[in-house]
Structure 1
Amino acid sequence: MSSPQQTTTDGPWTVRRVLEWTTGYLKEHGSETPRLDAEVLLAHAKGCPRIHLYTSYDETLPEAVRASMREMVKRRAEAEPVAYLVGHREFFGLDFQVTRDVLIPRPDTETLVVEALEALKPLSSPRVLDIGTGSGCIAVAIAANNPVAQVTAVDASAAALDVARRNVEHHGLADRVRILESDLFAAIANSDPFDLIVSNPPYVADGEMDQLQPDIRLHEPHSALVAGPDGLNVIRSIIEQAPARLRPEGALLLECSPEQAAEIQSLFAACPQYEQIRVIEDLAGRPRVVAARRRNPD
């Protein structure tokens, strides 16, 4: 690949020129957001906020920055996600560390957090369970935006929990977010029910992996993506087991793909312990979260 490493007859490799070159190169290699990718990577290579690039377009970049940039651009052109290259990702206005052990937080999941915070508003000291916490982004976002919430964040992956723990500590929430290794509800007692259970579970069907974008298919953890022939194996388990860990009128919120929402509604409806079943749309108007409440036996 051509690389912005040396001064040529076209002049020095300034911030502006590196951004323009990288944007074109990444566009040719399939990036859907080449300019954004270029800016995030260069800001990381320079060790500065991205906004600072806009005031230093004419700055000539030193050799060390160009070398770092060349390596990251090469890997990005091979479909490695930007978040893994720079080691972090913004979610719900907060910065999260990410590694290959966790899914990269995505804007779609912010719909789940918004709905969770709305459900918690009437409660004075809510208890929340986040199943399959991964990076901990959902648990941290909820705790950071509800100062009285006590959150338990579980995952079956010890490596993922290491990332989640670092994010909890980074945001100063270790006193209100408990990290626990658990395969779904395995380590969760029935004796102390939750007011809210949330999950962004695996929901990709086995046969759909080949259809995913290369950056997801080749680099993100498959165990956090795939869930059986129809993608609903984990969701079924959560729906079946959650009532025993929910207080009466407690809520369960599940993220899903838009195509699955109707089937998940049917799964809830088939369980007599649920009521108030509804679908919440994301900002693009697509079904993104299915919500239900545990029926009050009284």
Structure 2
Amino acid sequence: MTIQEAIAFGAKKLHLLERPILESEILLAFVLNKPRIYLHSHSFETINPFHQEYFKQLILRRESFEPIEYILEKVSFYHQEFYISKGALIPRPETEILVDMASHIIQSKNCQNIAEIGVGSGIISITLALLHKSKPLEFHASDISPEALFNAYVNTKKFNCSNITLYNSAFLDFNSYKHFDLLLSNPPYIQNKTILPKPLSFEPQQALFGGNRGDEILHKIIAIAKVRNIPYVICEMGHNQRNSILAFTKNLSVKTLEFYQDLSGLDRGFIIEF
């Protein structure tokens, strides 16, 4: 099998995807450990049997709609490449907006002690640590999933983020006394009864489903911030949860509550100041 034939084979198998040729090329380049441009300049080169079999296995995984990020074990976020595996939710581009909002709060309000609930692969805390290298920031990030924490651990080591401490814990149970200036989270916020597209079935379900209504964990995070006297909270949320957040915070004496939108103009998160 030549490179050209392999690309055609993969594209045919992946015909139900939006970009079958591109994804076939990406997977073959990964197998051969070559840039994609190499495939076009060496299209008649024969692929050895080992690489042929490996490529076919990856195509089979992608044909079943397994996310390509899990297959390649890497994901791009905020101009950086992070390790990712099945134990952690794949970062979405809209979460970069949360990072931008948090970065502004850190800069303008001089926040130094930052907590993150549901750290996942670590992309939020790590990106903020990299953006504010000159500041003496401390991050304390928790997750109930050991698999997700492994992803976060690998990424903190990759980017040499020694100011991020990870905890296998729910919410802020790892420390009942420490004061935090800012609480961040991209928590599960999908209703339990929601039927998800096939690709999402490969992702950790506990990182997606937020309860019977979907907003239960969001409410708990806000309540924790109130009880712990954390002045700022930034959370991602579902596009239809504005009224739920407004109703829940109505009697919590918040100073300000702002909602931010994603690139489609839909509500994507909120910022609370207590």
Find the counterpart in structure 1 of residue 97 from structure 2: 111
Give 1:41's match in structure 2, choosing from 17, 27, 37: 27
Structure 1 stretches of 5 or more lacking a match?
1-5, 7-12
Deviation at 1:76, TM superposition (A): 1.0
Query: Which amino acid is 1:132 matched to?
Result: G
Find the counterpart in structure 2 of residue 179 from structure 1: 166
Question: Could you tell me how far apart the structure 2 residues matched to 1:54 and 1:146 are?
Answer: 41
Question: Could you tell me how far apart the structure 1 residues matched to 2:59 and 2:72 are?
Answer: 11
Q: Secondary structure at the match of 2:211?
A: coil
State yes or no: 1:160 paired with 2:141. no
Q: 1:27 to 1:234 in 2, by over 3 A?
A: same
Query: Which amino acid is 1:289 matched to?
Result: G
Give 2:233's match in structure 1, choosing from 243, 247, 252: 252
Query: Which amino acid is 1:76 matched to?
Result: R
Find the counterpart in structure 2 of residue 18 from structure 1: 6
Deviation at 1:93, TM superposition (A): 1.4
> How many residues are matched?
272
Give 1:97's match in structure 2, choosing from 71, 83, 104: 83
Q: Secondary structure at the match of 1:264?
A: helix
Question: Could you tell me how far apart the structure 1 residues matched to 2:23 and 2:251 are?
Answer: 45
Deviation at 1:123, TM superposition (A): 4.5
Find the counterpart in structure 1 of residue 200 from structure 2: 216
State yes or no: 1:130 paired with 2:110. no
Query: Which amino acid is 2:259 matched to?
Result: V
Give 2:213's match in structure 1, choosing from 215, 230, 249: 230
Find the counterpart in structure 2 of residue 243 from structure 1: 226
Query: Which amino acid is 1:255 matched to?
Result: E
Q: Secondary structure at the match of 1:197?
A: strand
Q: Secondary structure at the match of 2:234?
A: strand
Question: Could you tell me how far apart the structure 1 residues matched to 2:206 and 2:273 are?
Answer: 28
Contact kept? 2:111, 2:182, Cα under 8 Å: no
Q: Secondary structure at the match of 1:257?
A: coil
Question: Could you tell me how far apart the structure 1 residues matched to 2:37 and 2:251 are?
Answer: 51
Deviation at 1:58, TM superposition (A): 5.0
Deviation at 1:265, TM superposition (A): 3.0
Query: Which amino acid is 2:258 matched to?
Result: R
Find the counterpart in structure 1 of residue 139 from structure 2: 151
Deviation at 1:269, TM superposition (A): 2.9
TM-score in terms of structure 2 length: 0.90
Question: Could you tell me how far apart the structure 1 residues matched to 2:105 and 2:41 are?
Answer: 42
Percent identity over paired residues? 26
Contact kept? 2:75, 2:84, Cα under 8 Å: yes
Deviation at 1:32, TM superposition (A): 3.5
State yes or no: 1:286 paired with 2:266. yes
Query: Which amino acid is 2:239 matched to?
Result: P
Contact kept? 2:120, 2:152, Cα under 8 Å: yes
Structure 2 stretches of 5 or more lacking a match?
none
Q: Secondary structure at the match of 1:193?
A: coil
Question: Could you tell me how far apart the structure 2 residues matched to 1:34 and 1:268 are?
Answer: 46
Q: 1:50 to 1:94 in 2, by over 3 A?
A: farther
| CA displacement, residues 32-83 of structure 1 (integer Å, 9 cap, x when unaligned) | 4434432332222122345654655554433332221110111111121111
Question: Could you tell me how far apart the structure 2 residues matched to 1:35 and 1:257 are?
Answer: 33
Question: Could you tell me how far apart the structure 2 residues matched to 1:262 and 1:53 are?
Answer: 51
Q: 1:289 to 1:52 in 2, by over 3 A?
A: farther
Deviation at 1:181, TM superposition (A): 1.7
RMSD: 2.1
